[in-house]
Structures are given as structure tokens and as C-alpha cells.
């Protein structure tokens, strides 16, 4: 049976990226710095083009078993200041449009809604929940992206057990 692969994006100058395959309970995380164009090129080359032989994802999950990749982007929740808000919306718009233009499914969720799935609202408690389950040093970019993908997969009726999760660095 084909399954979904979930990709969460905490969009900012340093973008958090999380890949989640719900049945294996394995999450891969990384951060991507750069312009929106550079970030999209990273997503396209390393996530959307998963059928390449050298794809790290192919070593983790059988690509032919993937139905589709579901992207969940962090939605801007509140107005900070005009310059920051404009910059984030431009970045979000470019990446969202680029994903949609190549036929990807894209959802938007606020980080607060995603964190509530774990019974918390602030960044620090969600970081602690995930940090206790990995040896790598997680940032708030990693953990927000993780919360986004897990929240979306639960909304799509996949089961989630925090005790089973394995978090690894996404190597490209």
C-alpha cells in the first residue's frame, strides 16, 4: 500500500526542514540557510527528486512505496514588524508557489496549532520533548518543522507514539 511522506518547513532565513514517514516513526531533520531560491532548490533536489540513485531518502524508505509528499509550511501567526512580516511573507509565498507549480500538495499550519498537538504552546517545551529522543542538538527550526509534519500526519489519520520516534540528521 502506498503511503505519504511528510515534509515540514519552518520558513525563515534559516529554514528548518523535517521529513517524516509515519509508519516507520523515523524523522530526518536539517536546516537550510539562504535565499528563498536557494532553499527551494535544496527542497527540489533533495526531497522532490527522491527517485535519484544517490538520494538519502531512498536509503531510508522505499521510494516506490511513496504515494505523495505532503508539504506543511509554517503559517505566519502574528504581525511582528512590517519589515520582518514582509520578508517572511515573500519567502513563504515564493516557496509555496514553487512547490504548487510542480504539483506538490501544500498545507499551512501555525506553529502554535502544531505544538498544541503535543499539549504545549511555547517553543522550549516542544524542544525538550524532541531533544529527549535524539543525540543530535536540535534547534527551534528543527522542532517547529517536526511539530508541523507530525501534526499534519495525525490530521491525515496516521497514528503517532512519541515513545517510538527516532530523529536523525538529514544527510545530503
pLDDT at res. 138: 94
Question: What sign has the CA pseudo-torsion 34, 78, 47, 165?
Answer: positive
Residue 3, strand partner residues: 66
**How far does Cα 55 stand from its chain's mean position?**
17
Question: 97 vs 79, 91, 102, CA distance in Å?
Answer: 22, 10, 9
pLDDT at res. 24: 83
Give the predicted TM-score (pTM) of the model.
0.87
Range of the structural domain that residue 124 is part of: 3-169
- Number of independent structural domains in the chain: 1
Please state, in angstroms and rounded to a whole number, the distance separating the CA atoms of residues 143 and 126: 7
Please state, in angstroms and rounded to a whole number, the distance separating the CA atoms of residues 24 and 85: 37
Question: 131 vs 41, 66, 72, 135, 146, CA distance in Å?
Answer: 28, 28, 21, 8, 11
- CATH of residue 14's domain is 3.30.420.10
Kindly state the cell numbers that stand for 42.
Answer: 535544496
pLDDT of the chain along its 172 residues, tens only? Answer: 567 889 999 999 999 999 998 888 889 999 999 999 999 999 998 888 765 445 555 555 555 667 788 999 998 776 667 777 778 888 899 999 999 999 999 999 998 899 898 888 888 898 998 999 898 999 999 999 999 999 999 999 888 888 888 898 887 7
DSSP structure string for 132-149: TT-SS---HHHHHHHHHH
pLDDT at res. 53: 46
Amino acid at each position: 500500500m502506498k503511503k505519504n511522506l511528510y515534509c515540514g518547513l519552518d520558513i525563515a532565513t534559516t529554514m528548518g526542514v523535517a521529513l517524516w514517514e509515519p509508519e516507520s516513526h523515523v524523522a530526518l531533520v536539517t536546516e537550510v540557510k539562504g535565499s528563498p531560491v536557494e532553499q527551494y532548490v535544496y527542497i527540489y533536489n533533495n526531497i522532490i527528486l527522491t527517485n535519484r540513485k544517490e538520494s538519502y531518502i531512498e536509503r531510508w524508505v522505499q521510494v516506490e512505496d511513496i504515494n505523495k509528499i505532503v508539504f506543511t509550511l509554517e503559517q505566519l501567526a502574528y504581525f511582528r514588524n512590517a519589515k520582518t512580516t514582509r520578508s517572511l511573507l515573500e519567502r513563504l509565498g515564493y516557496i509555496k508557489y514553487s512547490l504548487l507549480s510542480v504539483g506538490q500538495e501544500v498545507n499551512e499550519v501555525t506553529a502554535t496549532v502544531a505544538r498544541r498537538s503535543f499539549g504545549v504552546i511555547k517553543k522550549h517545551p516542544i524542544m525538550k520533548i524532541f531533544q529527549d529522543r535524539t543525540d543530535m542538538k536540535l534547534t527551534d527550526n528543527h522542532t517547529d518543522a517536526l511539530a508541523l509534519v507530525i501534526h499534519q500526519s495525525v490530521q491525515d489519520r496516521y497514528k503517532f507514539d512519541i515513545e517510538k520516534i527516532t530523529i536523525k540528521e538529514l544527510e545530503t
